[in-house]
A and B are shown apart, each in its own frame.
Chain A
Amino acid sequence: MSLKSSQLQLNQQGQLCHFLGIDGLPRELLTEILDTADSFLEVGERAVKKVPLLRGKTVCNVFFENSTRTRSTFELAAKRLSADVLNLDIQTSSTSKGETLYDTLRNLEAMAADMFVVRHGNSGAAHFIAGNVCPEVAIINAGDGNHAHPTQAMLDMLTIRRHQAPFEQLSVAIVGDIMHSRVARSNMEALRILGCPDIRVIAPRTLLPAGIEQYGVRVFNDLRVGLRDVDVVIMLRLQKERMQSGLLPSEGEFYRQYGLTSDSLALARPNALVMHPGPINRGVEIESAVADGPQSVILKQVTYGIAVRMAVMSMAMAGQTTQRQSRQGAQ
């Protein structure tokens, strides 16, 4: 049987060599990512925003789904680490000519790429690439289907750690389309590993996955009950197509029941953080005044995203290098 993500992404020394998902990673490793990201935040404030950790390495951003923000922050992160960066928007190139994912990546590997940052619509795509296509290239999951978005989760954790009390003292609510959200899954896993004692998910029944209890979360269908006294509110983006498949009656009804407004936010703790992975739908899941208000750290998340991606990329590259050396040593 094939390896679980948690086994595939650590080398024999327990270092990160791919970053595929949060599930199964030890707490110390998540903390190491956050500590490393903290140290990189300072790089972003310098006049010369570069460190030489990935000098001479080639990073390919291979995006099978559109994403301006995530790809830009990965690109900036790689450049600040002094890597050579290649951006590929696959929707408009090879797969439309009938080339398979397997062949596309094998070709890139043949160009001596050292790292692939991959976003793909199929859950498990990054795992598939790390396990079956190019195990010797460091794979960073930039979002796979509904499964995982681990760098988003880590930048969310960094935001919480820098702006709130320690995880052990927090109540965190995740609100909206949990079912289709890779961000929600990765965040629930990260919060649990980091010791958050009260994780809540707030959503209508139709937007909750089967077996949500396995994440050790409390489930609320009523926003006004679920938000009471929380320290952090993570809002999720609602896709328009959810209205067509009978999951929701309308955007308006969703906003009235689950939209984060000044009124509903008042139920949370006075200093509660408002977070959103972006891009936000103003007036669908969040009121403009809240998104732009004093409790919102949505733009901080973007800034921290670069630091977190620098941390993960440098750690995975180091782990992959160690792995390669021990393989060569064994031969």
Chain B
Amino acid sequence: MRITIAGARVIDPASQFDQITDLHIDAGQIHALGQAPEGFVAAQTIDARGLIASPGLVDLNVSLREPGFGRKGNIASETRAAAVGGVTSLCCPPDSRPVLDTPAVAELILDRCERAGQTRVFPIGALTKGLEGEQLSELVALRDAGCVAFTQGLAPIRDNRILRRALEYAAGFDLPLIFTPQDPALAEGGVAHEGPTAARLGLPGIPETAETVTLARDLLLIEQTGVRAHFSGLSSARAIDMLADAQARGLPVTADVAMYQLLLCDEDLDGYSSLLHVMPPLRSSSDRRALRQAVQAGVIQAIASHHQPHEPEAKRVPFAASAPGISSVEIMLPLAMTLVADGLLELPAVLARLTSGPAAALGLPAGRIAVGDRADLVLFDPAGTTEIGKHWLSKGDNCPFLGQAAPGCVSHTLCDGQLVFQA
């Protein structure tokens, strides 16, 4: 279908394009910018005056909960929620049940995503079978089935020799790996950042060194093996320093942070809200400041939702007994606009962390507006307001921002030239 988006401020961080113009879409692709090509007759024209048109957001971490955790969410519900949040491309981690460690699971996910037809999905494969940290998954077969990167998530590889081999093997096929460093012994039993707040609340702490000790090891092995590496969900200021040092030495490592890590910190745990139980834990306000500065400086290239929907019962228990995770993919755009509103970054820079930044980190064919590319777009009103929770589509309502208002309001989401969401 031919669509014209008329009069939007088109921002494409990848090409640093920022101008009020028209966008013409044909056969799912960006056909032209500016003047309509001769003979182009739009079947639908969207009056986008006052709106921003951006590449659809690229979210590197969205748990879809399918297969295996239907009470928490499913592909239809969570990709729908993503579309509402302006997300048109997402990566799902391999912690489904069964674990995404065979091509069959990847194919099942991709089939169901295609049937849902909401967003593009790029699965992340398990680096080891069952995420058990012992035997490598068939990485090349998984790549051929559509996996764009591989990870252990928080599941450890305890044996450094196996880890080294895994990195070497992946490097040989130029497969990107995603690391979320956390030493299982130092973190054992912990549910919150080890610091004054957790001490006062009597919550078992996770020291910063649980992250940095493992990060140091990972960086050394990445350097030795030359594997393409991306860090996900780093939580401490010290870890950011180590990452920046590695980048300064020329190691091509990238990183993302969870949106909620930029907005919340451990002091918010007073009151024991299980909605704030996340892993890695929310760290101190000075750690949060360092994360925000790293996003500003570009040491962190991507902001992801780290969307983890849960059934109500998983959170309706005391803090330590609750399942970690926040459901937030469907408010990605408004939460991002709060970063503009509080002066952290200008709008095009925030959009870069949500589109071209994450796409480049994993080499995804997404996150930009260019003639001939897929028409994956989000239109939003920067002057609008989103009342969070007024409509809620994710199966998980485990979101600490429910009931709050955030700046900016998604009006249209287009995926592959199809209107998948309209406010």
Instruction: Find out whether the CB atom of A185 lies under 8 angstroms from the CB atom of B272.
Output: no
- The interface residues of chain A lying within 8 Å CB-to-CB of B274 are 128
For the complex, is A237 an interface residue (Cβ under 8 Å from B)?
no
Shortest beta-carbon distance, B366 to chain A, in Å? 35
Contact of A100 among B195, B201, B313 (CB under 8 A): B313
Q: Could you pull out 25 A-B pairs where Cβ atoms are within 8 angstroms?
A: A1-B268, A1-B400, A2-B271, A2-B273, A5-B271, A23-B200, A101-B317, A122-B320, A123-B319, A124-B203, A124-B272, A125-B318, A127-B272, A128-B272, A128-B274, A128-B317, A128-B318, A128-B319, A131-B271, A145-B202, A146-B202, A210-B198, A210-B199, A210-B205, A211-B197
Q: Which of B251-280 contact A (CB under 8 A)?
A: 268, 270-274
Contact of A214 among B200, B268, B320 (CB under 8 A): B200
Cα of A65 to Cα of B205 in the assembled complex, Å: 22
Given contacts A3-B271, A4-B271, A128-B272, contact A122 B199 (CB under 8 A): no
For the complex, is A75 an interface residue (Cβ under 8 Å from B)?
no
Q: Give the nearest-CB partner of B319 in chain A.
A: A124
- The interface residues of chain B lying within 8 Å CB-to-CB of A119 are none
Contact of B196 among A4, A100, A144, A214 (CB under 8 A): A214
- The interface residues of chain B lying within 8 Å CB-to-CB of A146 are 202-204
- The interface residues of chain B lying within 8 Å CB-to-CB of A212 are 199
For the complex, is B316 an interface residue (Cβ under 8 Å from A)?
yes
For the complex, is B220 an interface residue (Cβ under 8 Å from A)?
no
Q: Which of B321-342 contact A (CB under 8 A)?
A: 321
Instruction: Find out whether the CB atom of A185 lies under 8 angstroms from the CB atom of B202.
Output: yes
Instruction: Find out whether the CB atom of A101 lies under 8 angstroms from the CB atom of B318.
Output: yes
The listed residue with most B CB atoms (<10 A of its CB), out of A102, A123, A125, A211, is A123
Instruction: Find out whether the CB atom of A122 lies under 8 angstroms from the CB atom of B321.
Output: yes
Q: Give the nearest-CB partner of A211 in chain B.
A: B196
Shortest beta-carbon distance, A59 to chain B, in Å? 22
Instruction: Find out whether the CB atom of B273 lies under 8 angstroms from the CB atom of A102.
Output: no
Cα of A101 to Cα of B272 in the assembled complex, Å: 16
For the complex, is A80 an interface residue (Cβ under 8 Å from B)?
no
Shortest beta-carbon distance, B47 to chain A, in Å? 39
For the complex, is B194 an interface residue (Cβ under 8 Å from A)?
yes
Q: Which of A123-173 contact B (CB under 8 A)?
A: 123-125, 127-128, 131-132, 144-148
How many residues of A sit at the interface, in one of the four size bands? 20 to 34
Contact of A123 among B195, B203, B207, B317 (CB under 8 A): B203
For the complex, is A309 an interface residue (Cβ under 8 Å from B)?
no
- The interface residues of chain B lying within 8 Å CB-to-CB of A123 are 201-203, 272, 318-320
Q: How many residues of B contact A (CB 8 A)?
A: 27
Instruction: Find out whether the CB atom of B200 lies under 8 angstroms from the CB atom of A185.
Output: yes
Cα of A145 to Cα of B204 in the assembled complex, Å: 9
- The interface residues of chain A lying within 8 Å CB-to-CB of B268 are 1
- The interface residues of chain B lying within 8 Å CB-to-CB of A182 are 202
Instruction: Find out whether the CB atom of B316 lies under 8 angstroms from the CB atom of A1.
Output: no
Instruction: Find out whether the CB atom of A210 lies under 8 angstroms from the CB atom of B317.
Output: no
Instruction: Find out whether the CB atom of A102 lies under 8 angstroms from the CB atom of B317.
Output: yes
Shortest beta-carbon distance, A261 to chain B, in Å? 29
Given contacts A3-B271, A102-B316, A145-B320, contact A209 B199 (CB under 8 A): yes
Shortest beta-carbon distance, B103 to chain A, in Å? 37
- The interface residues of chain B lying within 8 Å CB-to-CB of A100 are 313, 316-317
Shortest beta-carbon distance, A18 to chain B, in Å? 13
Cα of A1 to Cα of B266 in the assembled complex, Å: 13
Shortest beta-carbon distance, B400 to chain A, in Å? 7
Q: Which of B172-213 contact A (CB under 8 A)?
A: 194-205, 207
Cα of A89 to Cα of B343 in the assembled complex, Å: 54
By Cβ-Cβ distance, the 8 closest A-B pairs, closest first, are A147-B202, A211-B196, A146-B202, A124-B272, A123-B202, A209-B199, A122-B318, A2-B271
Cα of A102 to Cα of B196 in the assembled complex, Å: 29
Q: Give the nearest-CB partner of B264 in chain A.
A: A1
Q: Give the nearest-CB partner of A132 in chain B.
A: B316
Instruction: Find out whether the CB atom of B319 lies under 8 angstroms from the CB atom of A210.
Output: no
Cα of A211 to Cα of B317 in the assembled complex, Å: 27
- The interface residues of chain A lying within 8 Å CB-to-CB of B319 are 122-124, 128
Cα of A217 to Cα of B256 in the assembled complex, Å: 40
